[in-house]
Amino acid sequence: MPRPWLALRPMRKQKAATSAGSGRVYNGRKAYSHQRETISRVFGCGVFDCYGSSEVVNIASECPHGRMHVNTDFVVLEVDRAGIVSGEPVPFIVTGLWNHTMPFIRYRNEDCGELMDGVCDLAAIFR
């Protein structure tokens, strides 16, 4: 399956002229540093990861400081530490707030992670 950033190559000249100064969101897979560099160079903008799934979209977004922030307008993200030994991956439990047709409530999406405390410099924009 082609990676999304590779599909951007044919648009290089057209997009480079129209996109300077804005950011691009990379969705679906975490962008590797060489992919970020290529996209940033071609489009003249920042590149930001977005985490989500088909079932629950827009779970978290990367801020300019490289930290992922939970999109609390779209989801409630919890971790389930039941039976988890320290150091093991912690499963996510996700509740989508926008899909009223097929709601996912406290859904185990099989992803793991950790929720961190603390305040980012951009806390006014991201939570």
Q: Which stretch, 15-23, 46-54, 101-109, 117-125, contacts Zn ion (CB under 5 A)? A: 117-125
Helix, coil or strand: residue 26: strand
Angle at 46 between CA 41 and CA 51, to 5 degrees: 120
Number of neighbouring beta carbons within 10 Å of residue 28: 14
Least distance in Å: CB of 107 to Zn ion? 25
The DSSP-derived string for 50-94 is EE--SSS---EEE-TTS-EEE-TTTEEEEE--TTPPTTS--BEEE
Q: How far apart are CA 81 and CA 85, in angstroms?
A: 8
Query: Measured from the CB atom, is 80 or 121 closer to Zn ion?
Result: 121
Tell me: does residue 67 bind Zn ion (CB under 5 A): yes
Tell me: does residue 15 bind Zn ion (CB under 5 A): no
Least distance in Å: CB of 20 to Zn ion? 23
Q: Which stretch, 2-10, 14-22, 48-56, 63-71, contacts Zn ion (CB under 5 A)? A: 63-71
- 41 to 60: interface string for Zn ion, x by CB under 5 A: --------------------
| Interaction site with Zn ion (CB under 5 A) | 63, 65, 67, 120, 122
